[in-house]
Structure 1
């Protein structure tokens, strides 16, 4: 369920979890027309050609949804076995979104590593997506080389990642609800990096009243 109300667009300064962490939220955008966003069934998509990291990430994020009583499924369980092997057309992605609606999904949480220039282009990308009504299909199509192009990234000491929440609710525009730009610093310990990233995404969504609700009596961490 979406509750609409006019709200100022916010792009927040550098924010991070308290303590030592390998992930930092550097920019944070929420659709100005959204105050609260609740979802009944969420598709979790981790775009990476590293199968082990994808599995670990989607498993851990799904557990956060499970622990909060929100139904979620991994892309590993939803995508056809050959879905990520090659580029998908507008028509194929439209059909995929329709199939999600038929299975009662109403949101997609998409995470991808986008290289070294994402921080510079973050505001431009947000403006394009918001003004142009871009949704999951546009984002996925623009970045799907991640799955099968081994030259997509170089070995950067800092990786720039983005997590985006899309509404695919029936009868509503399939639009961007929230996007966070996150720096991953020297990710040599993959397991710890994934743990830090998942915790940061959950905290950011709680603060924005997106699917998760923060315990307002808990003053231990704050954005």
Structure 2
């Protein structure tokens, strides 16, 4: 499971395969800007965590927003065991003291197996209308186990929280992306981040066109 969790952040498939399946924005928020953001990638794989947080930090800085990786802020022992609510309250207060005003928190929700036909629709469309041809074309359903392809879909969630004074833990935006089987390719993490940035920009959350 640790390997899967690491690969998903190191190698998410391209934009043509990944899809934003759910997006929610706090109805009380019209525009949200931040001056300093903590980037948190929750995965037991330290290399994956570093790769994701580093590139996401760069995206914020390209927007003129100061950002910091959680690996540079949290103590080495912080993630090795469960933490209490009181300890997280202390973390949030520490972030306020350091002038952070937002957290972008990304994690894997889970995965599920799906099934698809091995035969393409284009092949089906070329068939004529006779029973025997239809039967002959599909009789391997009876005896071929791989007629239906199995594939795994991962759900990854990114959440933007405001940690402003008086609004600790307030959720600003949450997006859930559906991603097919991951591969070990560093370039694909860029495509996932681009989807998140695009979704946030559409909602005018940090990543938005600045007025001249």
Do the structures match in fold with TM over 0.5?
Answer: yes
**Is 2:101 the partner of 1:106?**
yes
Residue of structure 1 in register with 2:19 after alignment:
24
Instruction: Select the residue among 28, 34, 39 that pairs with 2:29.
Output: 34
Whether the aligned pair in 1 keeps the contact of 2:18 and 2:178 (CA below 8 Å) is yes
2:155 is matched with 160
Tell me the TM-score normalized by structure 1: 0.68
Shift of 1:186: 1.2
Q: What are the within-5 Å matches in structure 2 for residues 3-18 of structure 1?
A: none
- 1:49 corresponds in structure 2 to 44
Structure 2 unaligned blocks of 5 or more: 1-13, 113-150
Cα 1:190/1:83, change in 2 over 3 Å: farther
Is the 2:55–2:190 Cα contact (8 Å) retained in structure 1? yes
Q: 1:79 aligns with which of 65, 69, 74?
A: 74
Which is bigger in relative contact order (C-alpha 8 A, separation at least 6)? Answer: 2
Counterpart selection for 1:171 from 166, 178, 185: 166
Change (3 A) 1:170 1:215: closer
Q: Distance in 2 between matches of 1:20 and 1:176?
A: 26
Q: Deviations over 1:44-74 (max 9, x none)?
A: 0000011111111111111111111100000
Q: Which residue of structure 2 aligns with residue 211 of structure 1?
A: 206
Task: Indicate conservation of the 8 Å contact 1:184/1:193, yes or no.
Answer: no
Q: TM-score, normalised by structure 2?
A: 0.71
Larger-Rg structure: 2
Q: Which runs of 4+ in 1 moved over 4 A?
A: none
Distance (Å, rounded) in 2 between the aligned partners of 1:66 and 1:176? 22
Return closer, same or farther for 1:92/1:159 CA change in 2, 3 Å cut-off.
same
- Specify the alignment match of 1:193 in structure 2: 188
Q: Matched residues in 1 for 2:32 and 2:171: separation?
A: 12
